[in-house]
Structure 1
Amino acid sequence: MRASASQAQDLGLPAIYLHLLAELLHNLNVDEHALLLRVGLDPARLKSTELRVSQSQASEFVTRAIIESGEPGLGIMLAREMKLPLHGALGIAVMSSETLGEALELVTRYLTLRAPHIRVHQQREGDRAVFRLVCDIDLGPLQSFILDAMLFGCVTMGYQLLGTPIKGAEIRRMGPEPGYFQRFRQQILVPVTYGSREDAFVLPTSVLDLPIQFSDEELAASSRAQCEESLRQLTEDAGFGCRVRRVIETSHPFPPKLAQVANTLFVSERTLKRRLQEEERSFQHLVDDVRLERAGELLENTTMNLSQIADSLGYADAANFTRAFKRWTGVSPSQFRNEYREAAEKARQDAESMVPATA
């Protein structure tokens, strides 16, 4: 018997996928901004390929998105929007692979980075390769959505990698064909069979040796190493404190109250405090860690003044923010910004000096 989502480790889902889904909702005339805020998510934070959203918030957002849009086929629609670079290091590693088979091997090994609790089992059926998707836990309303996005996303991925549809490929889905599928059947480039004993992407073994049009050996090696390190961090840093931090990182309003985070994680405030204490952490320290990180990003990458930054970080005024930032870093926000800009300008000048002059 599979565990429920509430009983399993919550490794989160990449925030960028919810950002793409929000864009789809906008095209369907749904107020995606208001919907994200109701779920407690900050729309501006979802554009990152690095941040992750708690599974409970992702599930709530997907469920509400389907209800408010009246479109149960959102997973298929999302699959069409999945450009490979949006999958982070894994997407880059896949794009720079030498062959289609190598690309699929990477997806199999590192899928946890993009879809935790989904596993790929490879098997052969004569001259066909079967990539079967299995859920470790019951994901509830999120499960059908994710499987739609992943399986139909394989078709999109194959087209991007080869520049042409994969000949002889097919998709197998468990359960009866849903009523909404007929509206999408003509848009999908491969046959789809419902009522199967498995959820799988199937293709001839002969196509596994087809070359990838973006193949880059050096980039492939570096991005694979990044995937390996990211997987290590994700699986090792799976404690309760990491779950709390994920909620803090993407919360609206910021900073979130302890009660808001506890409610998102389905625990009492007392339990949240106790479990953080067991890991020698505190809620306020996690909030401050995220504040410092966000402050650095805003100082480096925006022209916001100190009052605007202070307000976005939940401080009463610029003076309170300045005191806190100096306590964390030893320098004032203005000094931090100036030093960053000076270093960036020097790096730009050094780069220009290395470019040979044209005749």
Structure 2
Amino acid sequence: MVSSGRPWGNTGVPGIYVVLLYDLLVAMDLDAPALLEGLGISRDELLAPDRRVSMALAQTVAERGLAMAGDRGLGFRYARAMSITLHGPVGLLALSSASAQDALDAACRFLGLRAPFLVIDYARHGEMAHLKLKSTVPLGVAHDFIMEAMLVGLAFMVEQLLDAPPEGLEIRRRSPPPAYWREMEADIRVPVLFDQQEEALVFPQSAMAARPRLADPQVAALAREQCEMEFRQWRTEEDGVLAERVRTTLQDHTAPMPSLEAMAERLSVSARTLKRHLQQAGLSYRQLQDEERYRQAKRLLGNRRNSISEVAYSLGYNDVANFSRAFKRWSGVTPRGFRERDSAG
């Protein structure tokens, strides 16, 4: 069983990325079947085109892979094994875009479809562009593996798009040089700087005008249409998932209910992001708070040893009349009417 308490939540990760890790462990002569042991899923099932796994499961797999590979540069090896075509329509859109800037814009917009735990912050500093990777949730012991794989993978993708990395392209890592770095350095045609202030790909802004070698407007239009369809479906699912996480978290709270800002911090998102996702799901944080208060009120009123005033105070109301008005708004009857109806039933 995978613990539901993992910080990554429930938003899905494409199963093909787990398959890639599995096959990489096979190539490293490691016990790849142990990667999926007890998780209720097989490699063949993960090959299905639309198959996704929970991020909790993905984190478990990443941690197991790291434990098996030890100090052998799993992130670099994973990036080296990752082809741009592995990303489906997102990769196809990047390959067929009219310019490197268009490909980058597509990556920024659609990254959540492939790595829902990361965002790209694109900024210019003088003549240089900085493509910064930031995690939206705690990544635990898999953090360095993921950043390593993503940044080196992005550098390899630039090379696949343009045949050669642009002059001045470099990778910046916050972490110190790992022990395996010297062994991997020769396989990467891009300088990697450690002990930096950011996790980023840095390159001359002028490189954004370069034309990918497989640029094709018809293919790009079809790939974008596929990406947009998948994006709409993903956002709808993500909004619902976040709303359920709020409901679950509120169930652990009696009065006072956490504020929107406190809840956002608890879920490792910004208050603005939480509010937006709830709105897109047709909800508000106030609605979810009231929903939980109503659930708790019914439970407390069901115990007749609790007076109505005690129930009101336990839910954070300083005035019984305010509680009675709120309860009538939720249920259509007053707390006293609810008890009388409950007794009659």
Q: Secondary structure at the match of 1:37?
A: coil
Q: Would you say 1:63 and 2:68 are equivalent positions?
A: no
Identify which of structures 1 and 2 has the higher relative contact order when contacts are C-alpha pairs closer than 8 Å and 6+ apart: 1
> d(CA) in 2 for partners of 1:179 and 1:234?
38
Alpha-carbon deviation of 1:168? Answer: 1.2
One-letter code aligned to 2:69: S
> d(CA) in 2 for partners of 1:154 and 1:8?
22
Q: Secondary structure at the match of 2:186?
A: helix
Alignment of 1:197-212 (within 5 A): 197-212=197-212
Deviating 4+ runs (over 6 angstroms): none
Identity within the alignment, %: 36
Alignment of 1:332-347 (within 5 A): none
One-letter code aligned to 1:142: A
> d(CA) in 2 for partners of 1:72 and 1:55?
24
Q: Which moved more, 1:25-34 or 1:14-23?
A: 25-34
> d(CA) in 2 for partners of 1:78 and 1:20?
8
Could you give the per-residue CA deviations for residues 206-257 of structure 1, whole angstroms, max 9, x where no partner exists? 111111111110111111121112111112123459x9xxxxxxxxxxxxxx
> d(CA) in 1 for partners of 2:208 and 2:31?
42
Q: What's 2:95 paired with?
A: 95
Alignment of 1:131-170 (within 5 A): 131-170=131-170
Contact 2:8 / 2:59 at 8 angstroms: preserved in 1?
A: no
Count of aligned positions: 241
Q: Secondary structure at the match of 2:194?
A: strand
> d(CA) in 2 for partners of 1:20 and 1:191?
25
> d(CA) in 2 for partners of 1:223 and 1:118?
22
Q: Secondary structure at the match of 1:223?
A: helix
Alpha-carbon deviation of 1:165? Answer: 2.4
Could you give the per-residue CA deviations for residues 25-53 of structure 1, whole angstroms, max 9, x where no partner exists? 00111121243233332110122342111
> d(CA) in 2 for partners of 1:186 and 1:5?
40
Q: Which moved more, 1:196-205 or 1:29-38?
A: 29-38
Specify whether residues 118 and 240 from structure 1 end up closer, same or farther in structure 2 by C-alpha distance, changes over 3 A only. Answer: closer
Alignment of 1:185-224 (within 5 A): 185-224=185-224
Q: What's 1:128 paired with?
A: 128
Q: Secondary structure at the match of 1:119?
A: strand
Alpha-carbon deviation of 1:186? Answer: 1.6
Alignment of 1:172-321 (within 5 A): 172-238=172-238, 239=240
Contact 1:15 / 1:52 at 8 angstroms: preserved in 2?
A: yes
Q: TM-score, normalised by structure 1?
A: 0.63
Contact 1:85 / 1:91 at 8 angstroms: preserved in 2?
A: yes
Could you give the per-residue CA deviations for residues 259-307 of structure 1, whole angstroms, max 9, x where no partner exists? xxxxxxxxxxxxxxxxxxx9xxxxxxxxxxxxxxxxxxxxxxxxxxxxx
Alpha-carbon deviation of 1:183? Answer: 1.8
One-letter code aligned to 2:237: D
Alpha-carbon deviation of 1:8? Answer: 5.7
Could you give the per-residue CA deviations for residues 167-223 of structure 1, whole angstroms, max 9, x where no partner exists? 210001112222222221121111111111110001111111111111110111111
In structure 2, stretches of 5+ residues that fail to align are 245-290, 292-345
> d(CA) in 2 for partners of 1:87 and 1:48?
14
> d(CA) in 2 for partners of 1:62 and 1:117?
14
- Alpha carbon RMSD of aligned pairs, Å? 2.3
Contact 2:10 / 2:55 at 8 angstroms: preserved in 1?
A: yes
Q: Which has the larger radius of gyration?
A: 2
Specify whether residues 42 and 163 from structure 1 end up closer, same or farther in structure 2 by C-alpha distance, changes over 3 A only. Answer: same
> d(CA) in 2 for partners of 1:94 and 1:164?
16
Q: What's 1:106 paired with?
A: 106
One-letter code aligned to 2:232: R
Q: TM-score, normalised by structure 2?
A: 0.65
One-letter code aligned to 1:26: V
Could you give the per-residue CA deviations for residues 132-157 of structure 1, whole angstroms, max 9, x where no partner exists? 11111111123222211110011110
Q: Secondary structure at the match of 2:97?
A: coil
> d(CA) in 2 for partners of 1:5 and 1:200?
29
